[in-house]
Amino acid sequence: MTEVEWNEMSNQQRYEYVSAGEIKVEQYLGFRGDSKVNDDSAKAYLCFIAYSNGVQLSNNCDTKEEALQEAADNMKALAT
């Protein structure tokens, strides 16, 4: 699905598209963009993001549960 196709869909069509897939939560580990190379004080961060059918349903979240809840809330918003 392209961005253009997504933008042309109604919220009901979007809901049907994302609900047809399985919600998966992906874990990302990284460093902040402003971290310096070889900086021992730079802290890694861990975040979780929920997806369904390749569509991101949550923002960066601190826990898997938070990502799933945000995804559920966003899907409810599409259904109404």
Average pLDDT over residues 8-16: 94
Quickly state the pLDDT bin for 17 (edges 50, 70, 90). very high
Q: In this structure, what CATH number is given to the domain that contains residue 52?
A: 3.30.160
In which domain, by residue range, is 64 found? 3-32+42-79
Q: Which residue has the tokens 């109404």?
A: 80
Task: Classify residue 37: in a domain, yes or no.
Answer: no
Side by side, which strands form the sheet with 44-52?
24-31, 44-52, 55-56
Task: Classify residue 21: in a domain, yes or no.
Answer: yes
Residue 48 to residue 17: CA distance in whole angstroms: 22
Q: Kindly state the percentage of the chain with pLDDT values over 70.
A: 100
Structure pTM? 0.82
Task: Classify residue 11: in a domain, yes or no.
Answer: yes
Q: Based on the structure, what is the number of domains in the chain? A: 1
Residue 7 to residue 56: CA distance in whole angstroms: 14
Task: Classify residue 75: in a domain, yes or no.
Answer: yes
What does the pLDDT look like over 54-78, one tens digit per residue? Answer: 999 999 999 999 999 999 999 999 9
pLDDT confidence of residue 40? 81
Average pLDDT over residues 35-55: 89
Task: Classify residue 61: in a domain, yes or no.
Answer: yes
Q: Which residue has the tokens 């609900």?
A: 19
Residue 48 to residue 38: CA distance in whole angstroms: 26
